[in-house]
Amino acid sequence: MLSILMPAYNEASSIAENVCETVETMQALGVDFEIVVIDDGSMDGTHAAASGALARWPGHVRIVRCARNEGKGHALICGASYARGDHVAFLDADMDLHPEQLADFFDVMRESDADVVIGSKFHPRSKVDYPRLRRLYSFGYFMLVRALFGLPVRDTQTGIKLFRRKVLDHVLPRVLVKRFAFDLELLANAHHFGYRIAEAPVKLNFQRVCSRLRLPAVMKVFVDTLAIFYRMRILHYYDRPSHRPSRADFSAGSHEIVVPVTISE
């Protein structure tokens, strides 16, 4: 089974339509799948809107609701604790990246014997249409990541990724960053523990009129990136034994970085 984790924040206007389109796409591909929508503390009724997709496709859709907005990384960690698939995909809820591309990701995973396949805007066969400023940020971040971590990839931030379940089971308990640098911490650790990462081309149609990425967020990514480097290269924090989070951790709020959630099935 493929578990598709779809974090959503203030996506009430489109979430039901996008989830239904994802279901129909996976059915057309003949994939055994589930979609876990994680409402990351939205203020616009995203959870209620997503329930429309749940009512239409109860056998394929589940909804997890976080009590507060804690960031995309937190939402994905929470969603992963509910995922049942042998493979897990991350997919942004805004549909800038269409889920039909996951078929190619499985091809890349099989052909390269990879444990992780990530979408890359810098892949020579990618077709991207997004703001020039974000292109600049992405390239600058790629240069920084290559210098600090030696990651064999050109893009860590694109919102479509495919993992073998064993990778997430091993790495996610070690991840501390819950917002923009989450992807880097996850991939840097996957590489650190010897998992093979491959890149796949993507078709990206940037649909937002106004990007959520602002200068304060860019600075926070920079600080978090340096903190990841410090934990990995200086403290060797990630090499320590780590507790694997369970559903109980989220439902009970037993950890300071975890908020209570409810789940609808």
Looking at the chain, the whole-number percentage of residues with pLDDT higher than 90 is: 74
Give tens-digit pLDDT for 31-86.
999 999 999 999 999 999 999 899 999 999 999 999 899 999 999 999 999 999 99
Of 226, 117, 137, 130, give the one whose Cα is nearest residue 181.
226
Q: Which runs of consecutive H residues, i.e. helices, occur in the chain?
A: 15-29, 46-56, 72-80, 102-112, 132-149, 165-171, 182-192, 215-229, 247-252
Paired residues of 40 in beta bridges: 66
Q: Does 252 score more than 50 pLDDT?
A: no
* Range in 68-77, 241-250, 253-262 the model is least confident about: 253-262
- Tell me how many domains the chain contains: 1
Q: Is the pTM of this model over 0.85?
A: yes
Distances (CA, A) of 44 to 13, 19, 35: 9, 17, 21
How deeply is 93 buried, as exposed, middle or buried, from its count of CB atoms within 10 A (0-12, 13-18, 19+)?
Answer: buried
At CA 119, angle to CA 187 and CA 6, rounded to 5? Answer: 80
Residue type, 127: K
Check residue 245 and give its pLDDT: 63
Q: Are 232 and 222 in contact (CB under 8 A)?
A: no
Task: Write out the residue range of the structural domain in which residue 248 sits.
Answer: 2-264
What is the domain-level CATH number for residue 115? Answer: 3.90.550.10
Distance, in Å, from the CA atom of 144 to the CA atom of 214, rounded to the nearest integer, reads 19
SS (H, E, C) 47-100: HHHHHHHHHHCCCCEEEEEECCCCCHHHHHHHHHCCCCCCEEEEECCCCCECHH
Q: What is the mean pLDDT of residues 193-211?
A: 83
